[in-house]
Structure 1
Amino acid sequence: MARALDLRDARAGEIELFVGFETETLPPEGWLQAMMTVRDAYPFDYIVGSVHDICGRWVDFSPADTAALTADLGGPEALQIAYFRCSDEHGRIAPARYRCASRSGAQI
């Protein structure tokens, strides 16, 4: 982290370098506090919320695991709803100073 911040400061007049991190909801217990601790430890420019598990099970490890999770939850729509509920959890760690934008750049 120190190296990234040093590079950002050293090249400030040449390039705009953003420093951020990707959150994770694993382990299911304690992830929120762990991510908030990381967030508060450094002056990050952005946070990427990432969902790799739903209900404590990997959603993108293998097609077979994803199919089993989909079936267990009751189908594709139930999986999508669970996915977006998990995505909403990531919003809990992003303080107001972090701006959210869509891929097109529109504020969301």
Structure 2
Amino acid sequence: MPNPYSKSIHRQTIPITDQIDLTAPGFIRVLHVAASRETPNTELEVWYECAPDLGEEITFRIHVEGTGHRYHHRGTYVGTVSTSGGMFIWHLFAEYPIEREARP
């Protein structure tokens, strides 16, 4: 049976930071990552697939890790981006559902 919901692909610019939470209607998955076209040394662009007709706002987390950095999240690898003329290499992971931090 075909899926009754239409899908679309969206792009969002994010800062190069350890992690950032994004919200999208009917979020399905992250598809691709690249250096920002406007500010390639400080921001990245993330493309993701949604089913907006579902209406539910879903939050997902993007983790940005430098080569050799240790990490402890359960994100799924999305892709690798080179910035600053190849001086910095960033590996992006998408986490959904978001694992909530344990409270003390």
TM-score range, shorter-chain basis? under 0.3
State the structure with more CA Rg.
Answer: 1
Higher strand share: 2
Bigger fraction of residues in helix: 1
RCO higher in structure (CA 8 A, sep ≥6) = 2
Task: State the TM-score, normalized to the length of structure 1.
Answer: 0.26
TM-score (norm: length of structure 2) = 0.27
